[in-house]
Amino acid sequence: MLHQYFVTAIGTDSGKTFVSAILTEALQATYWKPIQSGLPRDTEKVQSLVSKNLSFLPEKYLLTQPLSPHAAAAIDGVQIAINAVEIPTNTGNLIVEGAGGVLVPLNQQHFVIDLAAKLQLPVIVVANLYLGSINHTLLTIKELQRREEQGLIKIKGLVFNGNINSASEEIILHHSPYPCLFRVNQEDAINFDTVKQYAEVVRKVLNQ
Protein backbone atom coordinates (compact mmCIF):
# COMPACT_ATOMS: atom_id res chain seq x y z
CA MET A 1 0.00 0.00 0.00
CA LEU A 2 1.41 3.36 -1.06
CA HIS A 3 1.33 6.11 1.57
CA GLN A 4 1.73 9.69 0.40
CA TYR A 5 0.51 12.60 2.55
CA PHE A 6 0.64 16.37 2.76
CA VAL A 7 1.22 17.60 6.32
CA THR A 8 -0.26 20.98 7.20
CA ALA A 9 -1.34 22.63 10.44
CA ILE A 10 -3.59 25.14 12.15
CA GLY A 11 -0.72 27.63 12.25
CA THR A 12 3.02 28.20 12.45
CA ASP A 13 4.99 26.27 15.08
CA SER A 14 2.22 23.71 15.47
CA GLY A 15 4.58 20.73 15.30
CA LYS A 16 4.44 19.92 11.59
CA THR A 17 8.12 19.07 11.37
CA PHE A 18 8.04 16.75 14.40
CA VAL A 19 4.94 14.99 13.06
CA SER A 20 6.45 14.84 9.57
CA ALA A 21 9.55 13.18 11.01
CA ILE A 22 7.38 10.61 12.81
CA LEU A 23 5.44 9.86 9.63
CA THR A 24 8.64 9.67 7.58
CA GLU A 25 10.19 7.20 10.00
CA ALA A 26 6.98 5.18 10.44
CA LEU A 27 6.51 4.73 6.69
CA GLN A 28 10.22 4.70 5.79
CA ALA A 29 9.17 7.41 3.40
CA THR A 30 10.88 10.09 1.35
CA TYR A 31 10.57 13.54 2.95
CA TRP A 32 10.00 16.73 0.97
CA LYS A 33 9.59 20.35 1.99
CA PRO A 34 8.98 21.96 -1.41
CA ILE A 35 8.80 25.52 -0.06
CA GLN A 36 11.19 26.56 2.72
CA SER A 37 11.26 30.09 4.13
CA GLY A 38 14.32 30.95 6.18
CA LEU A 39 16.85 28.92 8.11
CA PRO A 40 17.43 26.43 9.59
CA ARG A 41 15.90 24.20 6.93
CA ASP A 42 13.21 21.79 8.10
CA THR A 43 14.79 19.18 5.84
CA GLU A 44 17.94 19.27 7.97
CA LYS A 45 15.86 18.95 11.15
CA VAL A 46 14.02 15.88 9.85
CA GLN A 47 17.31 14.35 8.64
CA SER A 48 18.61 14.58 12.21
CA LEU A 49 15.54 12.80 13.59
CA VAL A 50 15.07 9.80 11.29
CA SER A 51 16.98 6.78 10.04
CA LYS A 52 20.03 7.59 7.95
CA ASN A 53 18.93 5.43 5.02
CA LEU A 54 15.88 7.54 4.19
CA SER A 55 15.64 9.81 1.15
CA PHE A 56 15.08 13.55 0.92
CA LEU A 57 14.02 15.65 -2.04
CA PRO A 58 15.51 19.13 -2.49
CA GLU A 59 13.33 22.18 -1.96
CA LYS A 60 11.76 23.64 -5.08
CA TYR A 61 11.88 27.07 -3.46
CA LEU A 62 14.51 27.82 -0.82
CA LEU A 63 13.84 31.35 0.43
CA THR A 64 16.18 33.34 2.62
CA GLN A 65 13.76 35.08 5.00
CA PRO A 66 11.68 33.43 7.79
CA LEU A 67 8.45 35.00 6.54
CA SER A 68 5.25 33.95 4.81
CA PRO A 69 6.38 32.42 1.50
CA HIS A 70 4.76 35.14 -0.61
CA ALA A 71 6.63 37.84 1.34
CA ALA A 72 9.91 35.92 1.45
CA ALA A 73 9.68 35.26 -2.29
CA ALA A 74 9.12 38.96 -3.01
CA ILE A 75 12.27 39.87 -1.07
CA ASP A 76 14.27 37.24 -2.97
CA GLY A 77 12.84 38.31 -6.33
CA VAL A 78 11.15 34.94 -6.83
CA GLN A 79 7.64 34.12 -8.01
CA ILE A 80 6.29 30.89 -6.49
CA ALA A 81 4.35 28.90 -9.09
CA ILE A 82 2.56 25.86 -7.74
CA ASN A 83 2.40 24.30 -11.21
CA ALA A 84 6.19 24.10 -11.09
CA VAL A 85 6.03 21.80 -8.05
CA GLU A 86 5.89 18.19 -9.22
CA ILE A 87 6.32 14.90 -7.37
CA PRO A 88 9.07 12.87 -9.06
CA THR A 89 7.92 9.57 -10.50
CA ASN A 90 8.52 6.35 -8.57
CA THR A 91 8.96 8.22 -5.29
CA GLY A 92 7.22 5.56 -3.18
CA ASN A 93 5.99 6.50 0.27
CA LEU A 94 6.20 10.28 0.60
CA ILE A 95 5.67 12.90 3.28
CA VAL A 96 5.32 16.46 2.02
CA GLU A 97 5.48 19.20 4.64
CA GLY A 98 3.71 22.48 3.99
CA ALA A 99 4.61 25.93 5.26
CA GLY A 100 2.67 27.37 8.19
CA GLY A 101 -1.10 26.93 8.22
CA VAL A 102 -3.50 26.07 5.42
CA LEU A 103 -4.17 29.66 4.33
CA VAL A 104 -0.60 30.90 4.37
CA PRO A 105 -0.18 32.63 0.98
CA LEU A 106 2.32 31.35 -1.55
CA ASN A 107 1.64 34.13 -4.04
CA GLN A 108 -1.20 36.51 -4.84
CA GLN A 109 -3.54 33.68 -5.90
CA HIS A 110 -2.57 30.51 -4.07
CA PHE A 111 -2.40 29.28 -0.48
CA VAL A 112 -0.56 26.34 1.06
CA ILE A 113 -3.64 24.16 0.81
CA ASP A 114 -3.74 24.78 -2.95
CA LEU A 115 -0.40 23.03 -3.20
CA ALA A 116 -1.85 19.94 -1.53
CA ALA A 117 -4.70 20.03 -4.04
CA LYS A 118 -2.32 20.44 -6.95
CA LEU A 119 -0.20 17.49 -5.78
CA GLN A 120 -3.39 15.46 -5.14
CA LEU A 121 -2.18 14.26 -1.76
CA PRO A 122 -4.41 13.40 1.23
CA VAL A 123 -4.00 15.99 3.97
CA ILE A 124 -2.96 15.39 7.58
CA VAL A 125 -3.62 18.37 9.86
CA VAL A 126 -1.52 19.01 12.97
CA ALA A 127 -3.48 20.78 15.70
CA ASN A 128 -1.45 21.88 18.70
CA LEU A 129 -3.35 22.40 21.93
CA TYR A 130 -3.27 25.87 23.48
CA LEU A 131 -5.74 28.51 24.63
CA GLY A 132 -7.59 29.44 21.46
CA SER A 133 -6.75 26.30 19.53
CA ILE A 134 -10.36 25.12 19.40
CA ASN A 135 -11.28 28.15 17.32
CA HIS A 136 -8.22 27.87 15.08
CA THR A 137 -8.67 24.13 14.58
CA LEU A 138 -12.37 24.32 13.76
CA LEU A 139 -11.82 27.21 11.34
CA THR A 140 -9.13 25.14 9.62
CA ILE A 141 -11.42 22.11 9.49
CA LYS A 142 -14.28 24.15 8.02
CA GLU A 143 -12.02 25.44 5.25
CA LEU A 144 -10.74 21.95 4.50
CA GLN A 145 -14.24 20.54 4.55
CA ARG A 146 -15.42 23.21 2.11
CA ARG A 147 -12.65 22.36 -0.30
CA GLU A 148 -13.22 18.62 0.10
CA GLU A 149 -16.90 19.06 -0.74
CA GLN A 150 -15.77 20.81 -3.93
CA GLY A 151 -13.68 17.77 -4.80
CA LEU A 152 -10.41 19.68 -4.53
CA ILE A 153 -8.73 17.75 -1.71
CA LYS A 154 -9.06 14.70 0.52
CA ILE A 155 -8.44 14.72 4.26
CA LYS A 156 -6.78 11.80 6.04
CA GLY A 157 -7.26 13.09 9.58
CA LEU A 158 -5.95 15.10 12.51
CA VAL A 159 -2.94 14.82 14.78
CA PHE A 160 -3.17 16.46 18.21
CA ASN A 161 0.12 17.86 19.45
CA GLY A 162 0.58 18.66 23.14
CA ASN A 163 -0.36 17.24 26.49
CA ILE A 164 -3.83 15.70 26.51
CA ASN A 165 -6.64 18.23 26.83
CA SER A 166 -9.78 16.11 26.79
CA ALA A 167 -12.19 19.05 26.76
CA SER A 168 -10.57 20.62 23.71
CA GLU A 169 -10.07 17.36 21.84
CA GLU A 170 -13.61 16.14 22.43
CA ILE A 171 -15.30 19.31 21.20
CA ILE A 172 -13.04 19.49 18.15
CA LEU A 173 -13.78 15.88 17.20
CA HIS A 174 -17.50 16.41 17.89
CA HIS A 175 -17.56 19.07 15.18
CA SER A 176 -15.05 17.43 12.85
CA PRO A 177 -15.85 14.86 10.16
CA TYR A 178 -12.20 13.77 10.35
CA PRO A 179 -10.71 11.35 12.90
CA CYS A 180 -7.75 11.81 15.19
CA LEU A 181 -5.04 9.58 13.71
CA PHE A 182 -2.69 9.82 16.68
CA ARG A 183 -1.42 12.17 19.40
CA VAL A 184 2.02 13.45 20.30
CA ASN A 185 2.83 14.84 23.72
CA GLN A 186 4.76 17.93 24.73
CA GLU A 187 8.17 16.26 24.84
CA ASP A 188 11.11 17.52 26.91
CA ALA A 189 13.46 16.38 24.17
CA ILE A 190 12.83 15.59 20.51
CA ASN A 191 15.44 13.25 19.07
CA PHE A 192 15.74 10.04 17.08
CA ASP A 193 14.65 7.87 19.99
CA THR A 194 11.54 10.01 20.57
CA VAL A 195 10.59 9.85 16.90
CA LYS A 196 11.26 6.10 16.78
CA GLN A 197 8.91 5.41 19.70
CA TYR A 198 6.05 7.29 18.08
CA ALA A 199 6.81 5.82 14.67
CA GLU A 200 6.30 2.26 15.87
CA VAL A 201 2.76 3.14 17.00
CA VAL A 202 1.93 5.28 13.96
CA ARG A 203 3.07 2.58 11.54
CA LYS A 204 0.39 0.25 12.90
CA VAL A 205 -2.28 2.96 12.74
CA LEU A 206 -1.62 3.87 9.13
CA ASN A 207 -1.39 0.28 7.97
CA GLN A 208 -4.72 -0.77 9.48
* Residues with catalytic roles: 33
Rg (CA), the chain: 16
* Inter-residue contact 42 to 17 (CB < 8 Å): yes
Distances (CA, A) of 110 to 11, 43, 89, 116, 180: 17, 23, 24, 11, 27
Measure CA of the first residue to CA of the last residue in the chain; give whole Å: 11
- Longest CA–CA separation in the chain, Å: 46
* Inter-residue contact 50 to 23 (CB < 8 Å): no
The H or E element that residue 207 is part of is none
